[in-house]
Chain A
Amino acid sequence: MNETAPAQTGLYTEEMTISVGPQHPSTHGVLRFVVKTDGEVIGEAIPDVGYLHRSIEKIGEKVTWHGYVPYTDRADYLAAMFANQGFCLAAEKLSGIEVTRRGEFCRVIACELNRIASHLISVGTFGQDIGAMTPFVHALRERETINNLMEEICGARLTYNYIRIGGVGYDILPETRIRIAEFLDHFEPIVDEFNRLLSGNKIFIERLAGVAVISKEDALSYNLVGPNLRGSGIKWDIRRDIPYSIYPELDFEVPIGSAQVGKLGDSYDRYWVRIIEMHESVKILRQCLKMMPKGPAIAKVPRKFKPGAGECYARVEAPRGDMGFYVVADGSEYPYRVRIRTGSYTAMSIIDKLSKGIMIADLIALIGSLDVDAPEIDR
């Protein structure tokens, strides 16, 4: 060693500060961590967010109620349908507009397709982060089919602007319904194939089992939502527990983490919950296609939409968990305030705590398992 090393040992170590991101492939968008490490062990990983802040909440105060729906798409580009639905639910709750029954079915079909697409990205990129390239390609191939179906339903592949106040923009045509049913038949075996390829893979399991365990208490205190909460063993799903839309009529399970390979609440549990949820979404879709009633897809809603003064908070179960829209109206044509509360934001805040003492490679697994999504954090 050189002269700067302490004389006693000849060797020395020091804490290193590395910047991970904002363009790191494992950060799923644009976010950055300032990581302080001692060798490969992390002392602290401080998340630095805000790179994608577009002030969607401020925009909400400047556009009309109808005009805001396309902006909500941009809150989370992987699951735009849920942001649409959340905002529309809030507006409907405020004004007392009732969604037509067929509209509700169209919504649920579109949302559950979107959930599968979002979870596919999540588990696919997760595999890629861990070092398994092939499953990612398989996942994206299936998602591509869903994007095609979405294009048939509403004309857009990512930012849908499909769900409107009072219903949906376009009805789902019978031939599209047949194609969705065909896709479901094709997709279910694919999930099993995916499990053989990735979920049961020894390397994958050993990378995740027991890594970044989140206890029930922490999950509640940090307000984790969606699959992250359920991964820690808390059976809570807005679709089941604060039902909205037609979910009470549908039959589906709420999967929770079961510590099947490691500890309860580890990265594998969170991953596994997403895999099961895809199966459940398929189940929901099959029922919806069968039960779909006739009728108009959208209720009669005035062009000049002016709900009376008031406020409400609407929750939807998005792929990244409880998405809350807190909307305040002052009786004018524009919302007074729109607040979007997203699952990724709170999931991101727990990383600082969990990262203490884990390896750098495990940090990547942790970020992937929480399924954080940069646009949804920053809004």
Chain B
Amino acid sequence: MDAKDIYARLERQFPGKVSDFKGDVKEPYLTVDALSIVDVCRFLRDDANLQFEVLSDLTALDWPKEEKLQVVYHLFSYSQNHQIVLKVDLPRDNPKVATVEGVWKVANWLEREVYDLFGVIFEGHSDLRRIMLPEDWVGYPLRKDYVEQEEYDGISTQRAPLVEKLLR
């Protein structure tokens, strides 16, 4: 099924919950209402014509100008050989969305990474801890306005440029 049909199918199933379909780009995507992401994902996985059995990737994009964080889901179906990209817009100051761990187990780790690096809270997640950075790290590095803390545990994170060091 091509992306347009998938969108039409979703629109019929979830009226008003899916919007902003972009079909003329490299990877067609659509925007899903944050509150219905789990239902949409479960439907995409279980429907006999869609069969998205795989969550290829889950990541986020930071758009400070639009004041939003976008969680991006790349879905793929091995049996049907088609794909779709879902996007969920969240407010930047309080990004919260339900976890899709119950639909694809891989979401557990992928969501932990997004939580760690973007600070998106996945509600209902079984083990929402930082994964790459230490537990007591401050800030979310992949946000556009991230400023690194000056020291961590007494260790400086700054380094004088090599040239300056040599000249000294």
Q: Which residues of A contact B (CB under 8 A)?
A: 49-50, 53, 55, 57-58, 93-94, 218, 220-223, 234, 236, 241-242, 310-313, 322, 324, 326, 328, 336-337, 339, 341, 345-346, 348-350, 353, 378
Contacts and interface: CB of A to CB of B under 8 A. Distances in A.
A323 to B, nearest CB: 11
B56 A341 contact: yes
B74 A220 contact: no
Given A49-B131, A50-B134, A341-B74, 17 more contacts: A50-B132, A50-B133, A57-B117, A93-B26, A220-B54, A223-B54, A234-B78, A236-B78, A241-B81, A311-B27, A313-B26, A313-B27, A313-B74, A322-B56, A345-B110, A346-B109, A378-B132
Contacts of A49: 131-132
B128 interface: no
Contact of B27 (A242, A312, A349): A312
B21 interface: no
Contact of A324 (B25, B56, B109, B113): B56
B61 A328 contact: yes
Interface in B18-63: 25-27, 53-57, 59, 61-62
Contact of A221 (B85, B106, B113, B130): B106
B138 interface: no
Nearest to B53: A220
A313 B76 CA distance: 12
Nearest to A90: B26
Nearest to A312: B26
B99 interface: no
Nearest to B144: A61
Nearest to B25: A310
Interface of B: 25-27, 53-57, 59, 61-62, 72, 74, 78, 81, 85, 104-106, 108-110, 113, 117, 130-134, 141-142
Between B26, B74, B130, the greatest number of chain A beta carbons within 10 A of the residue's beta carbon is seen for B26
A150 B131 CA distance: 35
A313 B81 CA distance: 15
Between A93, A221, A234, A345, the greatest number of chain B beta carbons within 10 A of the residue's beta carbon is seen for A221
Contacts of B104: 221, 223
Contacts of B130: 50
B78 A313 contact: no
A313 B85 contact: yes
A289 to B, nearest CB: 31
Given A223-B104, A223-B106, A326 B72 contact: yes
A221 B105 contact: yes
Contacts of A53: 132-133
A362 B168 CA distance: 55
B26 A310 contact: yes
A313 B28 CA distance: 11
A58 B141 contact: yes
A134 to B, nearest CB: 36
A50 B59 contact: no
Contacts of B117: 57
B109 A311 contact: no
Contacts of B106: 221-223, 346, 349
